[in-house]
Amino acid sequence: MQYHNKPFDQLQIGDTAELTRFCTEDDFYAFASNSGNHNPLNLADEDGDGDNVNEAIAPEMFLGALISAVLGNILPGAGTLYKSQSLDFSARAYAGEELLARVTVIKKRDNREVVLETQVMRPSDAALIVSGIAVVIAPEKELSFNEIEVPGLVVERHRHFDALLDRSRPLPPIPTAVVAPEEPNSLGGALLAARETIIKPVLIGDPDKIAAAAREIELPLGDVEIVPVKDHLDAANNAVDLVVEGHVEALMKGHLHTDELLRAALRRDRGLRAGRRFTHVFVMDIPGQPHPLLVTDAAINIEPDLETKIDITQNAIDLAISIGIGAPKVGVLSAVETVNPAIRSSIDAALLSKMAERGQIRGGLVDGPLAMDNAVSLAAARTKGIVSEVAGRADILVVPNLDAGNMLAKQLTYIAHAEAAGVVLGARVPIILTSRADGEKARLVSCAVAALHAARMSGKI
């Protein structure tokens, strides 16, 4: 887009200009960060006036900045300097509303001073939100310029995880065997989830180490049940026994190796096999993205064959439905978006897509092969000429192998600032699989995802 300013000599009384802006919750968080004004009334996750409603009211100076955008971009435009601005707020604007800012020249003075009437309105109901008078020094020379590309801002806010926590809180706490929570992170995640009433933990491990970890994080164990077991493999077997006997409905990994926990879950006698391969799903909340993104399998199956990928895909679809994605769109990834006999992942992707068409994979839309760009970007899909309900809109990414999945998940975490919740599916109960590097929120949401899935699969929701 190209802008043309109007220097002082060309301005006429009655000249007018306007811009529209759709206001988002993230706009107000960015404004809070830049301005230092952290008034909770303006922030979507906060109740700023104690009425138990999170208002997300537009900050008043944010509205004033919409006026300055018209003055600086269009009328008078490039080269304009403010002298004064009055603002009279007659109504409130909120996140999710489209606003229109308008300026009108009402007077010209000496020394290139221009007086303008300024307004911000809500077009949906013609409400006047802000009115006032601006005095500016208009530019002397005529200028034209292309729209300037300024650095983009991404608000590091994990609203999808907040929504998952809100969905899980009304459920009864899910009885969960926590295996070897013998250091601060693993114990803290379990106790935090218990405090949020997401799980009811049964701690299985060395009581002395559990007590020491509790002292280190300064969280009381209270009446939390502890099953004393010194050896990690014994702790894992005890946890699986509790599932088999119906005492718990989920497992949670503590401070032990993943293979020790899975070995117990996969034992032939009194194990947790349920007819599908065990597969891992990362549920990822990526700042700036409109929905959670599921990545699978990034932790268990190293070089999955087609039969395993069927279970990987079906398990991920089932989990996506459990967390509120009604008809999950599954992008099966490869290096290319066309079938190439030399690239096995492209053949597997095409077969999975056809199997979904024939009802062999149920509950979601499956398409592949798709490259990463056209799986998540509509623009990339259109550029490549891909016509698909999945391309550019994928909720689930099925990766070719563990290497690709693990790299993708960690790139999203450490470069795109995503939070990742991890769950193992395919067993009789969900297995909450967290990493030593996970923070509190990732551990908490891993519990919430497992609780939602267990509740749906058991018919509780």
Read off the pLDDT band of 288 (50, 70, 90).
Answer: confident
76 and 6 in contact (C-beta within 8 Å)? yes
Q: In one letter, which amino acid is 424?
A: V
Q: Looking at residue 339, what is its pLDDT?
A: 94
pLDDT over threshold 90, residue 1: no
Q: What is the pLDDT of residues 13-29, one digit of tens each?
A: 999 999 999 998 889 99
In this prediction, residues 416-444 reach a mean pLDDT of 90
C-alpha–C-alpha distance, residues 283 and 250, integer Å: 17
What phi, psi does 175 have (nearest 5°)?
-60, 125
Would you state the pLDDT for residue 54? 86
pLDDT digits (tens, 9 = 90+) for 445-458: 999 999 999 999 88
Check residue 125 and give its pLDDT: 94
CA angle 341, 345, 348 (to 5 degrees): 85
Burial of 143 (0-12, 13-18, 19+ CB in 10 A): middle
User: According to the model, what pLDDT value does residue 297 have?
Assistant: 95
**How many C-beta neighbours within 10 Å does residue 284 have?**
25
Residue 128: how many other CB atoms lie within 10 Å: 13
Highest mean pLDDT: which of 151-160, 369-378, 432-441? Answer: 369-378
Kindly tell me if the per-residue pLDDT of 151 is higher than 90: no
Tokens (6 digits) for 429? 């109960």
Tokens representing residue 17 in the block: 């200009």
Residue-wise pLDDT tens digits, 52-65: 888 899 999 999 99
Question: How does the average pLDDT of the chain come out, rounded?
Answer: 93
pLDDT of 2 above 80: no
Sign of torsion, CA 413 418 419 420? negative
Express as a percent the part of the chain with pLDDT over 90: 84
Structural domain spans, the chain:
2-146, 159-457
CATH 3.90.740.10 for the 2-146 domain, yes or no = no
Q: CATH number of the domain at 159-457, please?
A: 3.40.718.10
The Cα–Cα gap between 302 and 313 comes to 15
Q: pTM of this prediction?
A: 0.78
Residue 152: is its pLDDT beyond 80? Answer: no
